Amino acid sequence: MKTFNIIQQNNSCCTTNNIKAQEAFNDLNTNLPTVIIGAGPIGLAAAAHLVEQNQSFILLEAGREIAHNIRTWGHVTLFSPWRYNINKAAKTLLEDTDWQEPNLETLPTGHELIDLYLKPLAALAQIKPFIQLNSKVVGVSRQLNDKMKSKNRVNQSFIIYIETEDDINVIEAKAVIDATGTWGNPNPANSTGVWLQNEKILAGRIEYGIPNIHTNTKRYANKKIAVIGGGHSAINTLLSLVELQKENPSTKLVWIMRKKSVEEVYGGEEKDALKARGALGVRIHELVDAGKIEVVTPFYISMVKKDEKINIVGTTNGEQTVLTGFDELIVNAGNRPDFSINSELRLSIDNVTESVQALAPLIDPNMHSCGTVRAHGEEILRQPENGFYIVGAKSYGRAPTFLMATGFEQVRSITAYLAGDEEASQRVELELPETGVCSSNLSNQSNTCC
């Protein structure tokens, strides 16, 4: 059996290990397809690159349409313009059709991302026949082997179990790219990250993610609403609620987070290279200063309780405090990866971020708060399970700094490697916009340029 050490402590793999990994992969049946799980922007980009590499593939999507998860936040405007949201290989394929490229400097909504780019991409003759919708992957393993078995493991193909409406289907693959993301698997309001029954009981009065306020005015108008979280999702939610507040002045907004001060959330503002992201910081800064939004921070939530209203129990400045009288909670505390479908595979996952282990030093928010991460590819993302890759938001685990363009570079590199072009897989072909100001030393909150 060929053996190899996948991840070094210095985030690089030696040439010998690369050769052994490639040899082990080449021993698999090359007639088998690569299976991509998740037909969102990153999964479809992987498909486009496999077309480019003349490699066979199957693209599995649990939803009834491609990018099903994005539809749930389709009303939200992205802060990165089209320029960073269109994959190069996909663009090349689309340019051979009557597809109209959007203005690269404008900002798409989630719906526009699907309708103007992802749906035309999925409809291409080179991709459409290989997409399977309503196909929920429930498990991935090695042929004839569970997680414990080592003998001849790297030479066995992957087996993917798919739950359809009335049956279980099985697909055999030479490689698997997991692009399932983290959306739909939110963190709780509880600051310790533990899901409590109290919170589950209140499910009808708690929204996770970014709700469409404009289509739910009755639910939120003239109510006392707590928005929980200190990231861009919370800011987007609050900006929509402020618009509602203009027409419904009794609407009271309370922003609860764990930051030492609200100023930490404003980010680079005018200095941010992604102007829309910087504008979020500028606008929320203005609204807080104007008293439109009450800020409670630092506040560590221990539980939520249902009385006539919702009460939030937590700790601030070392003392237990109860925030009372809420009608609705909107929790924007981030998401976490779900590894249940990967439980029979051998993975290298960081125990803090739950990201791909070699990525952790680059993205751990305890060490680094920049909005971008240097481009990385197959070598960083390689798992002990040869031929299996976690990409996209899921590769970042709980870290909140993923950008779509980073995922495009990930799958470009991986698909090059799977096609046998190791030189191309090691190239860096991406330049990302940097956030304007960030903290690289969180212990003293000093601001330095990234």
Domain range summary for the chain, segments of one domain joined by +: 15-184+335-440, 197-331
> 74 pLDDT band (50/70/90 cuts)?
very high
**Which residue has 């609204």 as its token pair?**
287
List, for residues 358-367, the tens digit of each pLDDT value: 999 888 887 7
Q: Radius of gyration (Cα) for the chain, nearest Å?
A: 23
Its pTM stands at 0.86
Q: CA dist 316 to 227, 294, 307, 311, 392, Å?
A: 17, 15, 22, 15, 35
Residue range 135-155: mean pLDDT, rounded: 93
Q: Which amino acid is at 117?
A: Y
CA–CA separation, 345 vs 311, rounded Å?
Answer: 42
CA–CA separation, 176 vs 46, rounded Å?
Answer: 11
Q: Evaluate if residue 137 carries a pLDDT over 50.
A: yes
List, for residues 374-424, the tens digit of each pLDDT value: 778 999 999 999 999 999 999 999 998 888 999 999 999 999 999 999 999
Q: What is the per-residue pLDDT for 400?
A: 85
12 Cβ neighbours under 8 A, 6+ residues apart: 379
CA–CA separation, 121 vs 140, rounded Å?
Answer: 27
Whether the upstream peptide bond of residue 298 has omega within 30° of 0, thus cis, is: yes
Q: Evaluate if residue 15 carries a pLDDT over 90.
A: no
CATH number of 197-331: 3.50.50.60
Q: What is the per-residue pLDDT for 113?
A: 97
Work out the burial of residue 284: count CB atoms within 10 Å of its CB; fewer than 13 is exposed, 13-18 middle, 19 or more buried.
buried
Other CB atoms within 10 Å distance of the CB of residue 376 = 21
Torsion of CA 12, 147, 422, 38, to 10 degrees: -110
Nearest to 40 by CA among 437, 442, 391, 425: 391
Contact 381, 359 (CB under 8 A): yes
Residue range 201-205: mean pLDDT, rounded: 89
Domains 15-184+335-440 and 197-331 share a fold: yes
CATH fold of the domain at 15-184+335-440: FAD/NAD(P)-binding domain (3.50.50)
> 253 pLDDT band (50/70/90 cuts)?
very high
Q: Evaluate if residue 281 carries a pLDDT over 50.
A: yes
Strand order in the sheet with 294-296: 206-208, 328-331, 224-228, 252-256, 294-296
CA–CA separation, 340 vs 180, rounded Å?
Answer: 12
| Cα 79–chain centre separation | 15
CA–CA separation, 274 vs 277, rounded Å?
Answer: 5
**Which residue has 């990153």 as its token pair?**
42
Contact 410, 447 (CB under 8 A): no
> 16 pLDDT band (50/70/90 cuts)?
very low
Contact 253, 240 (CB under 8 A): no
